[in-house]
Structure 1
Amino acid sequence: MHPFRLFRASVAQLTVACLLLASQALTAAQAEPNRLDRILESGVLRVGTTGDYKPFSYKDPKSGQFIGLDVEMGESLAKALGVKLELVPTSWPTLMADLAADKYDVAMSGVSVSLERQKVAFFSQPYMRDGKTPITLCSNKDKFQSLEQIDRAGVRAIVNPGGTNEKFARANLKQAEIVMHPDNVTIFEQIVQGKADLMMTDAVETRLQSRLHPELCALHPDQPFDFSEKAYLIPRDLVFKQFVDQWLRQDIESGTFAKRFDQWLNYPWQAANKP
């Protein structure tokens, strides 16, 4: 056979083989159940939430119910799916382990996007820009404006374990003392009571906590030490991610998300604090 004809025949055979493999891969992908189908079949959306991060997620001590922006967003997502909402308690130290154990379908609790988390999970499109910045007694606000001022011997920086706050503190503080406090709800009271000098946390949280505690000042929340985003944490399932992204995009573009955020930022959290 002429070499060119042999080449054409080989190319044709290779093309047929590639098309066959592509068809088989597509058929397998279509046959493989995805999380979206599982949720629709079960009729339940399981949302993991920590209940300790205002204005996103807070467990009301009076009623035992979860309230907050991301709790309401979970209700909205469940409604868009046409299923019931089941809130699954999780925590910052166990957030990723609970995801790996399939305890929830999506985490909605003011979760910060991080490369470490992205190694094992997906995130929705971001819904907020943020970054770490200090909060301290207003009488000390001039003392802790920069990381250089904070990272000094004798300075006590308090953090809650297991999340991006602890990671940021350990990456940036070599001389200051890192004080661990397990309860993110009462952690700001530790600063008010003089048991810690400051906390470095998300700028949105410093703004809210400075409203709840007039003794505390959020330091340059418009110019945080780093850049981060908040999004919803999702298992590695492209079909479900695409649905969540589209739902969230519509909520943001319609202006509904901004209204919800303002409502929860201005929620009477002082009343919710009382047991």
Structure 2
Amino acid sequence: MKLSRFVGGLLAAGATAFSVLAANGVHAADLLDAVKERGTLIVGVEGTYPPFNFVDAKTGQLDGFDIEVSKLIADKLGVKVEFVKTEWSAILAGLSSGKFDVILNQVGITPEREKTFEFSVPYVASSPQLILRKNDDSAYKSFADLKGKRLGVSQGSNYEALAKAQEGVEVKSYPGAPEYLSDLVSQRVDAALNDQLMTAYLVKTSNIPIKGGAIVGEPKFNGIPFRKGNPEFRATLNKALQDSFEDGSFSKISNKWFGIDVSKVQAPQ
């Protein structure tokens, strides 16, 4: 009698769990079906990460590279796009819990993250890059060339750690890019270090005489993460990206924000 009640309880619990999963669309169907039925692709972004995603002070609307790429993808999927602003510290957990369908927020593709999420094909390739004064003809091709030189970095960034790991380089840390660029132009540092995308953006928008220098590290690739178990969505998302690479629509957005096509690994400028 006890055994039958136990088995019956398990069956009832299983049925309830199945009903809950089905009601919430979790693993009941491919994510593509849910997006198409809803008519909206829900995208997680920080909303405070210029030039990738930020609130335009004039319009009060989200703008930026990843915002435009999201709209491009949604258009190719034949749906609208809805953005959900979430702090970076909670954004991956938000994806896991189903708060949004995908994240477009410069998420690096790493083996650790691939244990939990699927990723699209890479849509951004970027490497550590030196920033130099525009009229500087110094042949800095590697960190070895910066021995005995002063290198400006953002405090607490990955690039501060990378710079401090280089023997013989005098590292000067700053609150952010405006401060180290000011010292670069004033010759208080010999070079600065940042992400290749940010370097391109700073060269394009800062209105000060700087240029991109040598690439000093291996490229890293960013993709669009989504929950595992959605092969149809993965194939459709990848096709949308590949089509945008081939028809020039992605390159148009990229060049608007960075002056380069960020889907391709760039040679030193």
TM-score category (smaller protein): 0.5 to 0.7
1:56 Cα deviation after fit: 3.4
Q: Deviations over 1:145-178 (max 9, x none)?
A: 633566889865215x6xxxx4454356347668
Q: Give 1:68's aligned residue.
A: 64
Query: What is the CA RMSD across the aligned residues, in angstroms?
Result: 3.7
Aligned length: 227
Residue correspondence of structure 1 range 40-189 to structure 2 within 5 A: 40-135=36-131, 142=138, 146-148=142-144, 157-159=153-155, 166-167=157-158, 169-170=160-161, 173-174=164-165, 179=173, 181=175, 187-189=176-178
Q: Give 1:217's aligned residue.
A: 211
Q: Give 2:226's aligned residue.
A: 234
1:244 Cα deviation after fit: 0.5
Give the distance between the partners of 2:63 and 2:218, measured in 1 at CA. Answer: 28
Give the distance between the partners of 1:43 and 1:244, measured in 2 at CA. Answer: 15
Structure 2 residue matching 1:122: 3-state secondary structure: strand
Give the distance between the partners of 1:141 and 1:94, measured in 2 at CA. Answer: 44
Consecutive unaligned residues of structure 1, counting only runs of 5 or more, are: 1-30, 182-186, 267-275
Pair 1:177–1:262, CA change in 2 (3 A): closer
Aligned-partner residue type, residue 96 of structure 1: L
1:216 Cα deviation after fit: 3.8
1:217 Cα deviation after fit: 3.4
Q: Note if contact 1:49-1:107 (Cα within 8 Å) is conserved in structure 2.
A: yes
Give the distance between the partners of 2:247 and 2:116, measured in 1 at CA. Answer: 31
Is 1:202 aligned with 2:192? no
Q: Note if contact 1:151-1:173 (Cα within 8 Å) is conserved in structure 2.
A: no
Q: Deviations over 1:67-115 (max 9, x none)?
A: 2332122112223333331112234444423323333211223433333
Structure 2 residue matching 1:87: 3-state secondary structure: strand
Q: Note if contact 2:152-2:180 (Cα within 8 Å) is conserved in structure 1.
A: no
Provide TM-score, normalisation by structure 1: 0.65
Give the distance between the partners of 1:241 and 1:42, measured in 2 at CA. Answer: 17
Q: Deviations over 1:33-79 (max 9, x none)?
A: 22222222333211122345555333212222122332122112223
Give the distance between the partners of 1:253 and 1:63, measured in 2 at CA. Answer: 31
